[in-house]
Amino acid sequence: MVIKTVNLALVCGVTSKIPAGTLPEFAFAGRSNVGKSTLINGLMNRKSLARVSAQPGKTQTINYYEINGTFHLVDLPGYGYAKANVKVKEQWGKMIERYLHTSSQLRTVFLLLDIRHEPTGQDVMMYDWILQAGFTPVIIATKADKIKRSQIQKQIALLRRVLREESHVQGGVTGAQSLQIIPWSGQTKSGREEIYAVLDRFLADGADTEDTETDQAAAEGAEDSFIKE
């Protein structure tokens, strides 16, 4: 995948209606300060399009980034910010859940987890929300540059085990075994090509579906014409 053009196309607040878009969407979810903005900037080959802040909880809206005029990367609000009040946390949660259940163009969700730590209860809850919305998330294990390379596979196994054991959604227990988990380094951009490959696969699948529907419509039209004749 070659990133040619990027622009912030749309921002949705707490009271905004989820738009009925026409472009495929790929959502990115994760706990506050997990490195979501760094990841999105790295994928888009930009330094500061998605704002990176030392203070967690900054992303309080749903941000749509239009890539190459062909799809959207959707940055969901970070969850788990301890200093946010209860009302704000509830609003963020409802906003994320509403998006997952109502977006008509959502293709898949990338769930970011810090590779250094065991997933929190809120991480598992987000994993369950994604499953309930009908998607199997792609896990991005962020901050892989913060641990020794020899520890990466051990930590990936930990993420997989906790999601399998703690998930409350039927299918989450076995589904975690087959989860795709991609280690990501914000420093070296290691993992970027693997993420691009996921995006390319879904975009290609969507194009194949559209071609099939077009062919079917053309065939039905030809059949109608033959019958009329």
Please give the pLDDT value at position 86.
Answer: 59
Specify the DSSP class assigned to residue 134: T
| Residue range 61-89, pLDDT digits in tens | 899 999 999 999 999 988 876 555 556 56
| Residue range 12-68, pLDDT digits in tens | 987 788 888 899 999 999 998 899 999 999 999 887 666 554 444 455 789 999 999
Q: Name the helix (H) or strand (E) containing 6.
A: strand 6-12
Segment among 14-18, 45-49, 125-129, 136-140 with least mean pLDDT:
45-49
Question: To which residue do tokens 């499953």 refer?
Answer: 131
User: Using 50, 70 and 90 to split pLDDT, how confident is the model at 229?
Assistant: very low
Please give the pLDDT value at position 225.
Answer: 39
Q: How far is CA 157 from CA 64, 101, 119, 120, in A?
A: 32, 29, 12, 15
All domains of the chain, ordered by start, with CATH? 6-228 (3.40.50.300)
Q: Can you list the alpha helix ranges (DSSP code H) found in 77-133?
A: 86-102, 121-132
Higher pLDDT, 173 or 62: 62
| Residue range 142-154, pLDDT digits in tens | 999 999 999 999 9
CA neighbours closer than 13 Å in the CB half-sphere of residue 228? 6
Q: What is the pTM of this model?
A: 0.84
| pLDDT of 131 above 80 | yes
Task: Name, of 3-7, 94-98, 153-157, 211-215, the range with top average pLDDT.
Answer: 153-157
Higher pLDDT, 90 or 39: 39
Q: Order of strands, edge to edge, in the sheet holding 62-67?
A: 6-12, 62-67, 71-75, 25-30, 106-114, 138-142, 181-183
Segment among 53-57, 96-100, 106-110 with least mean pLDDT:
53-57
| pLDDT of 207 above 90 | no
Helix (H, G, I), strand (E, B) or coil at 182: strand
Please give the pLDDT value at position 8.
Answer: 93
Structure token pair of residue 82: 């301890």
